[in-house]
Amino acid sequence: MTTETFAELVAAEDVLLFVNAAVTATGQREFHSAAGRQQLSLDFLHEYVRVNYRRVYAASLALDINDHNAVRIVQGLLEYASEASPAEKRAEGRLIAARLAKLPPQRVYRLFRGLRAAKVNNRRTRAIMRDWLAARPDPAHDAVKYRAGLRTAVRHAHLPLEDGAAPAGELGAFLFRPGKLPRYRHGLLDAWRRAHYEQGAVAELPFTVAEGFAARHGMKRAAFLERMAPRMTRLERLRTQGQRGGAAPQERAAGTDLTVMPLTRLALYVLSLDAPARLRHRAELTLALRTAARRAAGSHAGRWGRVAAVLDDSYSSSGSGEKRRRPLAVALACHFLLEALAAPGAYAPLWTSGVRDPLLVRPWGPTPLGLRVLDALEHGPERLVIVSDGWDNAPPGLAGEVLRVWRTRLDPGRSTSVVHVNPVYDADGFDVRRLSPGVPTAGIRDAEDLPALVEIAQFSEGRTGPAELYAYLDRQVARFVTAAPSGGPL
């Protein structure tokens, strides 16, 4: 092996390691590691990849990484712009614009505050902020809901305010001289003014803003939520259901169509219900989960042939205080997605606890991954998908040994494709925890990304080289930028 080839392989491994971290890690506490260790580990990875593989660091924005790491990458690219060539800056500008268009607005405004704190105010940064704000559908809504963020962005980048539907000058007066105008002609801005002393105006505001005014006026929580229900988003209605007078789950979900929810969010909602509620509404919840799974499967539905899944519902799948039941929700969502991806009647799910009813899963017990992998392989699947945090402990290491023997002795021709997807970042290893060197592992945050992550995982198996990996990244970047609503600043 030449030195150049060895260097390319090391670079490819570094890239895959960073992608796994950027998909799963959020700097929050996990079951096996504290938040401080998570943050230190992420800090190192971001700096290491940005300095050594800046092109790949930027290209990661086109992958299914989580929002936390997307924001960190954007800030890193803008804060250290001097490290990039003019051509790299142009490519980065398009990627940044495309990614910001997909991010929730509160995260973008938080990014702008971070850029101001870091004193990043170059021409490219100002152009990116200007173009993103110009694309916002309702500046007055942002002024009310994200007032501090919008004010910081406008002040930091010296941007002219686009009033949109607001009369000229009102938006600036609202942001920088609140209370100076006796009234606003824009309805939402004036509702915010009146809400300081008039309870009736509270219901005209966005829910998160109205909550503060409701507390100030001493409004009863249940009555306030009922009044605000028409103005809530679907997720806000689900999040506040338990606070509406103890109604049954189906009654509390009135006006909420569960079938349109994203698959992983829906799985989190299902797990938030107690077992009796899940049983009472089994038909509704199962229909919603299967509908969301078919939507996520898309063109892949029914094309994966015979599929077996090993799904981790051990105690560690309870997650942490910040990511409550997240690993179990990913496993539950993957169960329904794999059911949709498999050929009809050709799907075999095996939960580590032995439970047979996926709607009743709960985090408990050890993690006998090795035994469940043996059971799964007995079905003779074309694909075996393992969804687990990788802490195989009943007995320890059995899963890795089973997979090693299977791959080297029993199935050297690879008639069965095996992939491990892991929803938990291992801060000590700077990666997601792996079961076996011979089995590709990919980090996963949302089950909807499973088909794409299986494609990425093949690069960690060693059957494809660095050239194929970089070609894949280039294709993803081209697709991502082309699909974006704007080409971004040059």
Is residue 174's pLDDT more than 60? Answer: yes
Question: Is 100 in contact with 74 (CB distance < 8 Å)?
Answer: yes
* Count of structural domains within the chain: 2
Q: What is the pLDDT of residues 465-476, one digit of tens each?
A: 678 888 888 899
For the chain, give the percent of residues with pLDDT over 70. 91
**59 in any annotated domain:** no
Same domain? For 390 and 446 the reply is: yes
Residue 398 resides in a domain: yes
Specify whether the CB–CB gap between 358 and 319 falls below 8 A. Answer: no
Residues 238 and 293 in one domain: no
Closest residue by Cα to residue 456 from 7, 19, 98: 19
244 with 297, same domain: the answer is no
* In-domain check, residue 58: no
Stretch 475-489: mean pLDDT: 75
| Domain enclosing residue 379, as ranges | 275-462
Q: According to the model, what pLDDT value does residue 237 have? A: 81
pLDDT number for residue 230: 83
CB atoms within 10 A of CB 487: 14
CA distances from residue 46 to 8, 77, 216, 391 in whole angstroms, order as listed: 19, 11, 42, 25
Residues 371 and 419 in one domain: yes
Domain identity same for 312 and 340: yes
303 with 416, same domain?
Answer: yes
Q: Which residue has the tokens 């938080």?
A: 110
Q: Tell me, yes or no, whether 223 and 314 share the same domain.
A: no
Taking 50 as the threshold, does the pLDDT of residue 254 lie above it?
no
Per-residue confidence band for 195, with pLDDT thresholds at 50, 70 and 90: very high
Across 4-13, average pLDDT: 70
Out of 212, 230, 261, a domain closes at: 261
9 confidence band (pLDDT: 50, 70, 90): low
Task: List C-alpha distances in Å: 146 to 104, 109, 111, 423.
Answer: 12, 8, 13, 31
pLDDT one-digit tens code per residue, 439-459: 889 999 999 999 888 878 777
- pLDDT, position 472: 85
How far is it, in rounded angstroms, from Cα 75 to Cα 81?
A: 10
Same domain? 362 vs 257: no
Which pLDDT value is given to residue 465? 64
For residues 323 and 458, state if they share a domain: yes
pLDDT band at 146 (very low <50, low <70, confident <90, very high): very high
> For the chain, how many residues are written?
490
* 313 shares its domain with 442: yes
Give the tens place of pLDDT for each residue, 221-244: 988 988 888 888 877 887 777 565
Burial class (CB in 10 A: 0-12, 13-18, 19+), 461: middle
pLDDT band at 16 (very low <50, low <70, confident <90, very high): confident
Asked if the structure places residue 426 within a domain, the reply is yes
Report residue 256's pLDDT band, with 50, 70 and 90 as the boundaries.
low
Distance CA 310, CA 2 (A): 39
- Residue 240: inside a domain: yes
| Residue bearing tokens 């990996």 | 469
Look up tokens 């802490």; give the residue.
391
- Say if residue 36's pLDDT is above 90: no
User: 368 and 345 share a domain?
Assistant: yes
Q: Is residue 472 part of a domain?
A: no
* 412/315 same-domain check: yes
CB atoms within 10 A of CB 135: 12
The verdict on residue 11 lying in a domain is: no
The CATH number covering residue 331 comes to 3.40.50
Q: How many CB atoms lie within 10 A of CB 10?
A: 11
The predicted structure's pLDDT at residue 255: 47
**Contact indicator for 310, 348 with CB cutoff of 8 Å:** no
Residue spans of alpha helices (H) in 85-206:
86-102, 105-117, 123-134, 139-145, 147-157, 170-176, 187-194
367 in any annotated domain: yes
pTM of the predicted protein model: 0.87
- Range 362-374 average pLDDT: 94
| Of 7-16, 225-234, 323-332, 449-458, minimum mean pLDDT range | 7-16
